[in-house]
């Protein structure tokens, strides 16, 4: 099957993931298509159950340690067809571009991995392909897959094919998010002194959180475009009616650690700010909203140099995070794939055909280096 046909089959599958259950779609069609194609080409295919009735796939041609593992996520963000010029699920080619939902992020890379799989026979070291679910939301798929595979024989290179315009990514930030609850004591508004108003405790608490953000900013990491660990307050909600003393306020925040600062240290700083005494007898606590995602750094400068030579692009560091934070447990890992991240998550998302033309020989070269060399 030709590359464009494989990609059009992947794009036709409805695989959006969303925290809104009405927009959350499955991925069994896509996994079934990939599993059939890979089995037909001699791969051993293993399916791993993921939350929300989704599946992850791990397929392998050949046996033993070493080899190459190519990874992609099956899901997309939800699309609004009215905002698209053409049907998001019909791959459309025009002006040297392939338009379709997920064409760039990141079914285009999965199609390239499947296309390579069709053209190789059993190598001395294995070629493996992993497809995950829910990368755009909880990263639950990759967590389940890595838990299944950890401890098995390691590949000598793991490529996470997120759209980077084929620039190798040397490092990316991690991610954590939490909810802070400020508790006071309710009472009738006719005597505010009779209760403890959680709203009045917020300015002091927010000031302390700003202090944490500034302390993080001082720990520079010039590798990144935003060269420090960020802390951002996202939401604040509290109180229920104007004539009652407010007894509860909730704030949410996220942080993106660089690696100079890790997730644990951010939690320590935030916890200290939150649990110190508050105005008027209020108290506060904090809890994580999701499991943390640790920062990622490519472990091997030699490996990066070879990828830079292969792609013709200098490696760089990015502020967003990827499944590499988990997949690095399986082997030396790099993030590099076709398409521009700026075109992901947008109406009329596209993949330049020129990227595909550069990617295929690069994958063949990596296959030669990691699977054919004995």
Q: Minimum CB separation from Zn ion for residue 154, in Å?
A: 24
Cβ-Cβ contacts under 8 Å for 223 (sequence gap 6 or more): 170, 171, 258, 317
The gap between the terminal CA atoms of the chain, to the nearest Å, is 29
Q: Which helix (H) or strand (E) holds 37?
A: helix 28-40
Q: What are the C-alpha distances in Å from 156 to residues 64, 201, 365?
A: 11, 53, 14
Query: Choosing from 75, 221, 294, 340, which is the catalytic residue?
Result: 75
Q: 339 with 352: CB under 8 angstroms?
A: yes
Specify the residue, 67 or 141, whose C-beta has the smaller distance to Zn ion.
141
Q: Minimum CB separation from Zn ion for residue 341, in Å?
A: 8
Q: 296 with 172: CB under 8 angstroms?
A: yes
Q: Minimum CB separation from Zn ion for residue 136, in Å?
A: 7
Specify the residue, 54 or 370, whose C-beta has the smaller distance to Zn ion.
54
Stretch that binds Zn ion, among 99-107, 205-213, 259-267, 291-299 (CB under 5 A): 99-107
Residue nearest to Zn ion (CB): 105
Q: Nearest Cα to 1, choosing from 30, 27, 38, 32? A: 38
Half-sphere exposure of 160 (CA within 13 A, CB side): 27
# of chain residues touching Zn ion (CB under 5 A):
3
Q: Which residues pair with 100 in a beta bridge?
A: none
Q: Minimum CB separation from Zn ion for residue 73, in Å?
A: 6
Q: Minimum CB separation from Zn ion for residue 325, in Å?
A: 13
Q: Minimum CB separation from Zn ion for residue 155, in Å?
A: 20
Q: What is the dihedral of CA 216, 217, 219, 220, to 10 degrees?
A: 150
Query: Choosing from 105, 134, 135, 355, which is the catalytic residue?
Result: 135
Specify the residue, 123 or 163, whose C-beta has the smaller distance to Zn ion.
163
Specify the residue, 102 or 310, whose C-beta has the smaller distance to Zn ion.
102
Q: Minimum CB separation from Zn ion for residue 368, in Å?
A: 27
State both tokens at 77: 């963000």
Q: Which helix (H) or strand (E) holds 217?
A: helix 198-217
Specify the residue, 103 or 255, whose C-beta has the smaller distance to Zn ion.
103
Is residue 52 part of the annotated active site? The answer reads no
Write the interaction track for Zn ion spanning residues 122-161; mark x where CB under 5 A is met and - where it is not.
Answer: ----------------------------------------
Burial string for 145-158 (b: 16+ CB within 10 Å, else e) reads bbeebeeebbbbbb
Stretch that binds Zn ion, among 102-110, 244-252, 298-306, 358-366 (CB under 5 A): 102-110
Q: Nearest Cα to 202, choosing from 252, 244, 266, 249? A: 249
Residues 157-196 that bind Zn ion (CB under 5 A): 162
Specify the residue, 184 or 337, whose C-beta has the smaller distance to Zn ion.
337
Q: 3-class SS at 317? A: strand
Q: 163 with 106: CB under 8 angstroms?
A: yes
Specify the residue, 106 or 318, whose C-beta has the smaller distance to Zn ion.
106
Cβ-Cβ contacts under 8 Å for 191 (sequence gap 6 or more): none
User: Phi and psi dihedrals of 345, rounded to 5?
Assistant: 60, 25
Write the interaction track for Zn ion spanning residues 105-124; mark x where CB under 5 A is met and - where it is not.
Answer: xx------------------
**Residue 321, burial from CB neighbour count under 10 angstroms (0-12, 13-18, 19+):** buried
Is residue 75 part of the annotated active site? The answer reads yes
Binding site for Zn ion (CB under 5 A): 105-106, 162
Q: Which positions are annotated as active-site residues?
A: 75, 135
């Amino acid at each position: 099957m030709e590359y464009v046909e494989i990609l059009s089959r992947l794009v036709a599958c409805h695989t959006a993931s969303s925290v809104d259950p009405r927009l959350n779609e499955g991925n069994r069609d896509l996994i079934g298509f990939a599993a059939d194609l890979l089995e037909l080409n001699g791969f051993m295919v293993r399916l791993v159950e993921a939350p929300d009735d989704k599946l992850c796939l791990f397929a392998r041609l050949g046996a033993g340690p070493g080899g190459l593992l190519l990874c992609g996520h099956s899901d997309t963000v939800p699309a609004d067809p009215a905002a698209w010029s053409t049907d998001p699920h019909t791959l459309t080619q025009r002006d040297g571009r392939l338009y379709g939902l997920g064409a760039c992020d990141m079914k285009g890379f999965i199609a390239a991995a499947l296309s390579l799989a069709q053209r190789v026979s059993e190598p001395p070291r294995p070629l493996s392909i992993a497809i995950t679910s829910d990368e755009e939301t909880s990263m639950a798929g990759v967590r389940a897959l890595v838990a299944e595979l950890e401890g098995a024989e390691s590949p000598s290179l793991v490529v996470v094919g997120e759209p980077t315009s084929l620039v190798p990514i040397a490092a990316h930030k991690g991610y954590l998010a939490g909810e802070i609850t400020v508790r006071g004591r309710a009472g009738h508004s006719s005597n505010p002194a009779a209760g403890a108003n959680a709203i009045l405790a917020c300015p002091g608490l927010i000031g302390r959180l700003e202090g944490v953000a500034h302390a993080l900013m001082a720990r520079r990491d010039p590798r990144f475009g935003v060269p420090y660990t960020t802390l951002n307050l996202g939401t604040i909600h509290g109180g229920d009616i104007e004539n009652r003393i407010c007894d509860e306020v909730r704030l949410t925040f996220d942080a993106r650690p660089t690696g100079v600062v890790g997730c644990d240290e951010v939690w320590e700083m935030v916890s200290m700010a939150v649990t110190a005494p508050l105005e008027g007898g209020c108290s506060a606590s904090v809890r994580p909203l999701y499991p943390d995602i640790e920062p990622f750094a490519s472990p091997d400068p030699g490996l990066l140099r070879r990828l830079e030579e292969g792609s013709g692009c200098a490696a760089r560091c990015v502020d967003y995070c990827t499944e590499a934070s988990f997949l690095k447990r399986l082997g030396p890992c790099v993030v590099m794939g076709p398409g521009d991240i700026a075109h992901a998550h947008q109406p009329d998302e596209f993949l330049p055909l020129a990227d595909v033309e550069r990617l295929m020989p690069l994958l063949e070269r990596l296959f030669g280096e990691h699977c054919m060399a004995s």
